[in-house]
Amino acid sequence: MDTSHRITADLTAAAHDAFVADRANVVAKNAVTSAGVSSAARVPEVAALATTTFDIQLEQGDITNQERSGRCWMFASLNTMRFRVMKKLGLKTFELSQAYPLFWDKYERSNWFFENIIASAAEPLKEREMAFLLADPLCDGGQWDMFAGLVKKYGVVPKEAMPETKCSCNTGDMNRYLTRYLRAGAKRLREEIADGADAEVVAHVKTELLQGVYRILAICLGEPPATFDVRIRNEKNELKAEGTYTPQEFFREFVDMKLDDFVSVINAPTADKPYLRSYTVRYLGNLVEDGGVRYVNLPIESLKRAAVAQLKDGLPVWFGSDVVQGFLRQDGVLDPAALDVDGLFGLPIEAGLDKADRLIYGESLMTHAMTLQGVNLDADGNPTRWRVENSWGDDRGKKGYDIASDAWFDEYVYQVVVDKKYLTEEELAAYKSEPIELAPWDPMGSLAR
């Protein structure tokens, strides 16, 4: 038996001797075992650089809280929309219902799932794409394009018109049982098709399954309102809005946002995704009629240029990032230099991979969506720090806000959503071009949660 690949006692002894010979290792061990890696690696000088005053600073109102749910993409989207309501009505704070789009997303995503199951019914279950479809058909995560589609179809409502429930604040049980129901539905649909059922029979089965989805959602979240009464007063107790509205009417009158003007711009600096090309992702979406998502891939400087321009025009910016990287959560600081992990361990842990390599090797991808609410600029107009509105409550960070360095933006921001007027003609033409379809498991198909 070849023993050359085994870990031997001599190898382990050598590792031990090298460890105890370096005083820094012993100090690091004592610190980490007592306080944990993040606390021991925290760089106080970097935390101290996080200003709370910005050259461009939008005021949003009370910080929202997604609690134990993966709805950050909804919260970030609604935060860009409630900003417009507050500005229009002169309100200090206001909140749109996050349970309302959650209901419709789960409902629409179930239909999306069933349609994909029907379309792929001839594929063996062992195929990778089938495994992907069945793995997590109903998670909370999403993308801007998916939210925009929901709003165009279903509108929005004030929070009091559809308040949070136990299942919207903590989606675990609802998702678990609904996912099990969907998988059983997938089995039924595949078996019907395998037995020779025609399209009419299959459609009937899908309709029956969707009625079951609606029932589960209504029990967990309550039924979405078709109409609702509105009475909105400002801080001076002045009545600023009243009447009865449908969700679509409320969106048109008070949010007044041309959703089709907003485009998703990504930064994926990998060789397989040339810049100035548009991309979509197979199986990524929720509304069947919308046909999925679309991005244009641009250099990071283009994302920053467009984001600054939109902030200068007084509007927040939806963005997606890998939020856990370089993050001092309690300080509310996002900076690659905030945690000296490499110095703590004496190894090139963070320095070992650049942004492209992190995507290729599965180290990083978009995990969380937030909104940019401000930016500091240097003498040449280049951003130095960003003010970030999160959706994790106001008891952390800078009263719920985080401060991101521009270096962190370079390394860990993967997507911004901006009005198309901030793109150049060349960039916009690239966005409108026929998209290249990425595999379902491509890192740029990740969902913000």
Structure tokens at 151: 């709003």
Domain endpoint, select from 212, 234, 255: 255
Nearest CA among 112, 87, 51 for reference residue 283: 112
The pLDDT of residue 172 is: 98
What string of DSSP letters covers 409-426? HHHHEEEEEEEGGGS-HH
Q: Which residues of the chain have a pLDDT value below 50?
A: none
424 and 349 within one domain: yes
401 and 285 within one domain: yes
- Whether 237 is catalytic is no
Which residue among 220, 368, 376, 382 is the active-site one? 368
Other Cβ atoms within 10 Å of 202 Cβ, number: 17
207 and 323 within one domain: no
- Whether 139 is catalytic is no
CB 253 within 8 A of CB 155: no
The pLDDT of residue 4 is: 78
Nearest CA among 126, 103, 76, 85 for reference residue 373: 76
CB 65 within 8 A of CB 392: yes
What string of DSSP letters covers 361-380? TTS----EEEEEEEEEE-TT
Residue 18 lies in a domain: no
CB 326 within 8 A of CB 153: no
The pLDDT of residue 3 is: 66
Which residue among 72, 79, 167, 297 is the active-site one? 72
Question: Residue 157's domain is classified under what CATH number?
Answer: 3.90.70.10
42 and 137 within one domain: no
265 and 248 within one domain: no
Domain endpoint, select from 255, 279, 302: 255
Domain endpoint, select from 255, 289, 306: 255
C-alpha span between 417 and 369 (Å, rounded): 11
The pLDDT of residue 1 is: 58
Using a 10 angstrom Cβ sphere, with 0-12 exposed, 13-18 middle and 19 or more buried, the burial of residue 47 is middle
Structure tokens at 67: 């609690």
What pLDDT, in 10s, does the model give residues 72-125? 999 999 999 999 999 999 999 999 999 999 999 999 999 999 999 999 999 999
Other Cβ atoms within 10 Å of 390 Cβ, number: 28
Alpha helix (H) residue ranges in 222-323: 247-250, 300-312
Which residue among 79, 116, 297, 390 is the active-site one? 390
Residue 10 lies in a domain: no
242 and 270 within one domain: no
Residue 248 lies in a domain: yes
- Whether 390 is catalytic is yes
Domain limits at 334?
A: 37-66+258-449
Structure tokens at 124: 């063996």
236 and 315 within one domain: no
243 and 106 within one domain: yes
**Reported pTM:** 0.97
Structure tokens at 238: 């002045």
C-alpha span between 336 and 348 (Å, rounded): 14
